[in-house]
Amino acid sequence: MEFKHQPVLLQECINALAIKENGIYVDGTLGGAGHSKQIVQKLSSKGRLIGIDRDEEALNVAKTRLKEYENVTYIHGNHDDIKEILENIGIQKVDGILLDLGVSSYQLDERARGFSYMGDSLLDMRMDQSQELTAEIVVNEYTEEQLAQILEDYGEEKFAKRIASNIVKQRQEEPIKTTMQLVDIIKKSIPLSKQKEGHPAKRTFQAIRIEVNNEIEPLKETVRQCIKCLKEGGRLCIITFHSLEDRAVKQTYNELEGKCTCPSDLPYCVCGYHSEGKIINKKPIIATDEEQEENTRSKSAKLRIFEKKTNETEE
C-alpha cells in the first residue's frame, strides 16, 4: 500500500518554527516527511534535519522522499528519548522541534496494522513493530478493571465498564484476535440510541492504541526534555489530535512558562519564579475551514508553540 500522508497545519508549523537556513531542526514524528520536506527545503547545506520515527516503514518512505537532501539524519526511535538521541549523534541543542502526535493517515488506512475499526484485520496497533505489546495482548490479557480504566482514561468512553465486561465474557469463549471481533463487542455494549455521533468503536480503539504505544504517560516529560534541547529562542511546535494530549501539552507549557506570584504593588519580583520561556499562542492554532474540508483529520488538530527563553546561560 502506498504511504499516503497529508501533513496537517503545514504552513502554520513552518511559520511557527521560524526556520533559520543554517539551523538544526528535529521532526520527532517524521512519518511520510510531509512537514520535513518543507523544513529541509528552507535549509542551506549547512543546516541539518533530524527525522525520528518509531515506524520503520515510515522511515523508509521518508528516506525515499527526501533522497535528494544530504543534510538529513534518520533515527529509528521514540521522540520521548529525544535528549538521548541527540546526544548519541553529538548534538546538544537545536533550533526547533516539531511533534505531530498520534497515528498517521497511513497507519489508519493500512488495515493490516489494526488501527482502524473500518475494516477487518489482526489486533495490532503498534507504531513500532519491534515492540512486544500489541492490542491483542491488551484485549485478551488485561483484567476487566484495567480495561475499563483504560477506556475511561484514554477514550473518555461512557460505557467503558460495559465494554470491558463484554470483552472479558467473549474472550472466555475464544480469544479476540481481529478488529471486527472487537467492533462487534463494542456495538453490542452501547445502546443504539447512543451510537448516532460517529462510529461507536472510535473511543475504544483510541484508548487501546494509546495504551499500546504509551502515548500519554511520558508526554509531559517529553515536552520538558524537548525544551531542554532547544537553543535560546528555539521553538517547540506540537500538534495534538485529542483532548488528553492537548491538555497535557497545555499544562506543561504553562508550568514551564512560570508565573510571578508577587503582589502587583511590588516594584520588582521577589518570589524567585523560574521560566523556561514563553507560550507563543495562548489559544491553539486550528486548521482553516478549507483545510478541514480537504482533510478531515485536521478537524481535531491543535497546534501549540513554545519559545525557549533567550536571556539565560546555556548549560
Calculate the average pLDDT of the chain. Answer: 92
314 pLDDT higher than 70: no
For 80, other C-beta atoms within 10 Å of its C-beta total 20
**pLDDT digit string, tens, across residues 234-274:** 999 999 999 999 999 999 999 999 988 888 888 888 887 88
Instruction: Tell me what pLDDT residue 93 has.
Output: 97
Secondary structure (3-state) at 287: coil
**pLDDT digit string, tens, across residues 117-151:** 888 899 999 988 889 999 999 999 999 999 999 99
Whether the Cβ atoms of residue 85 and residue 67 lie closer than 8 Å to each other: no
pTM of structure: 0.85
Q: Can you tell me the distance from the alpha carbon of 270 to that of 262, in angstroms, rounded to the nearest whole number?
A: 7
CA-wise closest residue to 81 among 26, 145, 8: 26
**What's the mean pLDDT in 22-48?**
96
Locate all alpha helices (DSSP H) within 89-242, ordered by sequence.
Answer: 105-109, 135-141, 144-155, 160-173, 179-189, 202-213, 219-228
Angle between helices 144-155 and 160-173 (to 10 degrees): 140
Instruction: Report DSSP state, residue 46.
Output: T
> Where are the domains positioned within the chain?
10-102+216-308, 129-213
What order of strands is seen across the sheet that includes strand 72-76?
Answer: 72-76, 48-53, 24-27, 94-100, 230-240, 302-308, 277-279
Q: Can you tell me the distance from the alpha carbon of 145 to that of 165, in angstroms, rounded to the nearest whole number?
A: 9
Q: Which CATH architecture has domain 10-102+216-308?
A: 3-Layer(aba) Sandwich (3.40)
Instruction: Report DSSP state, residue 193.
Output: G
CATH for 129-213, options being 1.20.140.10, 2.60.120.10, 2.40.10.10, 1.10.150.170 = 1.10.150.170
Q: What are phi and psi of 48, to 5 degrees?
A: -150, 140
**pLDDT digit string, tens, across residues 179-197:** 999 999 999 999 988 887 7
Amino acid at 89: I
**pLDDT digit string, tens, across residues 212-232:** 999 998 999 999 999 999 999
Domain pair 10-102+216-308 / 129-213, same fold: no
Instruction: Tell me what pLDDT residue 1 has.
Output: 45
b vs e for 144-155, b when ≥16 Cβ sit within 10 Å of the residue's Cβ? eeebbbbbbebb
Contacts of 291 (CB under 8 A, 6+ apart): 8, 9, 298
Amino acid at 79: H
